[in-house]
Structure 1
Amino acid sequence: MFLSFSAVFAGRNCCRTQQSHRQSVFSPTAWPHLFSGAQRVERGRRATSQGRRARSLLSTRTFCMSSSQEDQPKSKSMASLRPKVCVLGGGFGGLYTALRLCQLPWGRDLRRYEAAARTPQRESTFSVDNSERRRASDTSKQSASQRLVAGQRTRPELTLIDTRERFVFLPLLYELVTGEMGIWEVAPPFAELLEDTDVDFLQAQVQHIDLDKRRVTVRPMMPSNASESKESDEIISYDRLVIALGSEDTRDMVPGAREHALGFRSVEDAIRIRERVRLLESSSQPTIRIVIVGGGYSGVELACNLSDRLGPRAQIQIVDRGRELMAASTAYNRSQATRALRLRNISFVPETSVVSVGPNSLRLSYAEKSGDRAPPASETTLEQIDLVLWTAGNRINKVIREGLIASRQVERNERGQLLTDRFLRLPNYPEVIVLGDAAQIREPVAAVPVVTREQPRGMTAQIALQEADFAAWNTWASLTGREPLPFQYVHLGEMITLGRDDGSVQLLGLLNLSGPLAHQLRRLAYIARMPTDAHRLRVGASYVAQPLLRILEGVLAVGNDVLDALGQGRGTRAPGCPFTANQDTQQQQQRQQSWSSSTAPRSDESS
């Protein structure tokens, strides 16, 4: 083998010598050395032929080795060399992190880089020491066959785990309730989105997370029904873990809310609301009473869309325990939301809490203002309610609250969110990245000052989408020996829907829009943020085709009206018609009489 490689390199060097000789053979100074140059050319040709034979032999051995490895099953030692990256949660943070990991270049041999000393004082605990860098540089000196075998292990094993079978684009869930968009547009299946990627999707429910042993206990869901799960649990080990489990609603905290109120967080919730609204719409009752618990983004947007669908029959109330409508929003969007509610006669009841929820009733607790003294709490009951919708509050996922197993300290805030460093990592477990609703960065976030220096507000999809890019990069950097990047927030603005053809948009603190133009701009912006290019193209084509179909329906309706006018005229000559409607009717009656007389039996024949 050493001789073969020597022949290869000798052939390459002699080829270079031959090229340089050809370039200088016609110079006058080259004539005395022409004979010696010819000898060198001959030796170069021989060495080149030997190098070709050596390369062909090497390629043959490499092909045999690769084919034999493909025929034989992969051993556990080879499979264990691929790092395992596990992503928990298929929302904006989890799915987009997995997709970004597939797009990053995995061009170097991956190793299971062990995290450095787990001390919160160090900012970059993923820095690679010199010994690991030497081992990584030694891989470049391997033979071609060894690099080919190592190339099969360059990409990690990516696994995405979620309890649902569909990804839900939450900002467009209102269009699913009103029927403006279909399920395939708002909630595409994970199998469809991850079809052309290296991500393995597992529909399972996370039970426990053991941070010390680096493994996750899951319970796979039944394929036929996502609400049922198998009895046996599975254990999944990981080298890097991304936690993006999101949050849950607070219906369990109020008696009767889980049984008698409908949530608004999933496709199933949107379908239930749509069916209930359809039944109420088809009923004969003059007034439809709806109470929405929660005066945030979801409550206001849902109230406006339901009011536009039900029309003047809808009597909608928004109940919130805060003092202000959409407290986390900007002043411009709050003013537009107030305008939209006033235009639709939707009442807002502030500083009111829900005590209990009944089949057709709602018990509320509110504070009566009585001067400077502390107001006493009073309770009242709303009767004859047709529909109660719950959009109030979020709480951390149950796995984050109760399912974490860790011997070292895991810091939390007052809401139960996990505190991370500015690289989105747990301080004592730097191989774990937490983002989305389950995390809060304990250090001040560096916001990019586009126009105004805004800090992240609340739990929004905009923050989760931006954190997904940094989570994917830092995971990739930890496996390839690169430096992580601190999270930087760019406040792009806010977009809300206020009905079928109404909305409010504030972009970069410079552009404020409202009305139909803002509604269309919001729809286009969300279509552009769809997970994959294929799904983005399909949804965009459907968005463009809908107005064309409406125009075509209008043209057909006008055509039908014209045809009806031509067939039911009152003696006037229609444009383009050679005869009047009365003449046409008389001709039809004459033909009918002649046909009846020809088919009637004659008297002589009967006799």
Structure 2
Amino acid sequence: VEGAAEHAIPFSRVKDAERLRDRIDEILARGGPASAVVVGGGYSGVELACNLKDRFGDMADVSLVHRGDRCLEPAVDYNRDSGARRMASLGVRALMRTGVESVGQGTITLKGEDGELREEACDVCVWTAGVRASDQAEALGLETTDEGRVRVSPQLRVSGQQRVYCLGDMADCKDALSDRAGATAQVALAQADAVAWNIHADITGGVPVNFRYHALGEMLTLGSAAASLASPLFGFNAKGQLAH
């Protein structure tokens, strides 16, 4: 997207968070009306939009821009609804089926589903959409997807390799019984157990296992004193201060 690399703040590394913190402090110190735009309606986007609005309060308008029909598409229904309700209660403007054409110095140009372009003021733009994996996999000569993730077997073996495994955000991992597993810490920890078992099987001549994910639940931080927690496995849901 034109201007995104120069004017939008990514949100994947510690230094990105530090850069965003400094920008927030600048805006708060300056005072007066301000506008913040979060691009991407996944977990990071919704949590960030809520926390930005919570931090800025009435002095800043916060918008979330998402190409899809609804935010938190991979989330469980309870957390998806909680996230939408929390954004609405805080006054976050959720723009669905909307893309970003360009990001400039203090402006952002949006494109709605009708194809109409509109330029809006934007004091800070945070980009959480379309996150790619590290380029280290390609540098090592491993087979990767268009998103840069390493192709792996159901046992998490790297494609074309017999004794190399990959897990976490880098792996294009599909659960043995479902679609691709999410890029979350919970999934990575479960993958670690499967990889440890399979490495031991390689060494001892044991039987390797396919990765199978059992979701224990998920949590969202939706502001300084608000959150949402859902665990279909244990039949437990909570929101607000209790979940926080």
Quote the offset at 1:338 in angstroms.
Answer: 1.3
Q: Distance in 2 between matches of 1:307 and 1:484?
A: 48
For 1:389 and 1:415, locate their aligned partners in 2 and report how far apart those are by CA, in whole Å.
Answer: 20
Contact 1:337 1:498 in 2 (8 A): yes
- The answer for the alignment partner of 1:445 in structure 2 is 176
The alignment status of 1:341 with 2:87, answered yes or no, reads yes
Question: What are the Cα deviations for residues 511-540 of structure 1, in whole angstroms up to 9, with x where unaligned?
Answer: 111110101xxxxxxxxxxxxxxxxxxxxx
CA separation of 1:317/1:323 partners in 2, compared to 1, >3 Å: closer, same or farther? same
SS, match of residue 506 in structure 1: strand
Question: CA 1:256–1:394 in structure 2 vs 1: closer, same or farther (change >3 Å)?
Answer: same
Matched, 1:354 2:104: no
SS at match of 1:255: coil
Is 1:387 paired with 2:124? yes
User: Counterpart in 2 of 1:470?
Assistant: 194
2:67 to 306, 313, 321: 321
Partner residue of 1:405 out of 141, 145, 156: 141
How far 1:382 moved relative to its partner?
Answer: 1.2
For 1:456 and 1:415, how far apart are their aligned partners in 2? 13
Q: Which residue of 2 aligns with 1:396?
A: 133
**Deviations along 1:525-583, whole A, 9 cap, x unmatched?**
xxxxxxxxxxxxxxxxxxxxxxxxxxxxxxxxxxxxxxxxxxxxxxxxxxxxxxxxxxx
Return closer, same or farther for 1:458/1:301 CA change in 2, 3 Å cut-off.
Answer: same
Residues 507, 388 of structure 1: alpha-carbon distance in 2 compared, 3 angstrom cutoff = same
Deviation at 1:271, TM superposition (A): 1.3
1:494 and 1:507 in contact (8 A); partners too = yes
* Greater RCO structure (CA 8 Å; 6+ sep): 2
TM-score by length of 2: 0.90
Change (3 A) 1:399 1:516: same
The reply on whether 1:378 has 2:102 as its aligned counterpart is: no
2:30 to 283, 289, 301: 283
1:522-601 aligned within 5 A:
none
- List per-residue Cα deviations over 1:149-198 (Å, max 9, x = no partner): xxxxxxxxxxxxxxxxxxxxxxxxxxxxxxxxxxxxxxxxxxxxxxxxxx
Cα distance in 1, alignment partners of residues 145 and 16 from structure 2: 30
Q: Is contact 1:456-1:489 (8 Å) kept? A: no
The answer to whether 1:499 aligns with 2:230 is: no
C-alpha distance in 1 between matches for 2:11 and 2:26: 18
TM-score normalized by structure 1? 0.38
Matches of 1:386 and 1:355 in 2, distance apart? 17
Q: Which aligned pairs between 1:143-182 and structure 2 lie closer than 5 A?
A: none
Q: Percent identity?
A: 37
Structure 1 Cα separation of the partners of residues 22 and 169 of structure 2: 30
Deviation, 1:255, is 2.1
Secondary structure of 1:281's aligned partner: helix
For 2:224, what is the secondary structure of its paired residue? coil
Q: Deviations over 1:49-68 (max 9, x none)?
A: xxxxxxxxxxxxxxxxxxxx
Pair 1:505–1:357, CA change in 2 (3 A):
same
1:304/1:499 contact within 8 Å kept:
yes
Change (3 A) 1:476 1:318: same
Q: CA deviation at 1:427?
A: 4.8
Q: In structure 1, what is the Cα distance between the partners aligned to 2:25 and 2:202?
A: 52
> Partners of 1:292 and 1:405 in 2: how far apart?
34
1:436 aligns to 2:173 (yes or no): no
* CA radius of gyration, larger in: 1
In the alignment, which of 480, 490, 503 is matched to residue 214 of structure 2?
Answer: 490
d(CA) in 2 for partners of 1:493, 1:350: 26
Q: Do 1:456 and 1:491's aligned partners in 2 also have CA atoms closer than 8 Å?
A: no
Q: For 1:267 and 1:413, locate their aligned partners in 2 and report how far apart those are by CA, in whole Å.
A: 25
CA contact (8 A) 1:455 1:491 kept: no
Mapped to 1, the partners of 2:31 and 2:149 lie a distance apart of 48
Which letter maps to 1:434? Answer: C
| C-alpha separation in 1, matches of 2:124 and 2:148 | 31
User: 1:430: Cα distance to partner?
Assistant: 1.0
Spell out the pairing of 1:66-77 with structure 2 (5 A cutoff): none
Q: Is the 8 A contact 1:455 1:489 kept in 2?
A: no
Aligned to 1:514: 239
Q: Is the 8 A contact 2:181 2:213 kept in 1?
A: no
- 1:473 is paired with a residue of what secondary structure? helix
1:480 CA displacement:
4.1
- Pick the aligned partner of 2:155 from 423, 430, 443: 423
Change over 3 Å in CA distance of 1:353–1:488 after alignment to 2: same
- Aligned ranges 1:74-93 → 2 under 5 Å: none
Cα displacement (A) at 1:421: 2.2
What corresponds to 1:267 in structure 2?
14
Distance in 2, matches of 1:428 and 1:474, equals 16
Superposed structure 1 runs of 4+ greater than 6 Å apart: none
Measure, in 2, the Cα distance between the counterparts of 1:416 and 1:389: 22
> Equivalents in 2 of 1:466, 1:350: separation in Å?
33
Instruction: For 1:320 and 1:441, locate their aligned partners in 2 and report how far apart those are by CA, in whole Å.
Output: 25
Q: 1:338 to 1:262 in 2, by over 3 A?
A: same
Q: 1 CA distance for matches of 2:109 and 2:4? A: 11
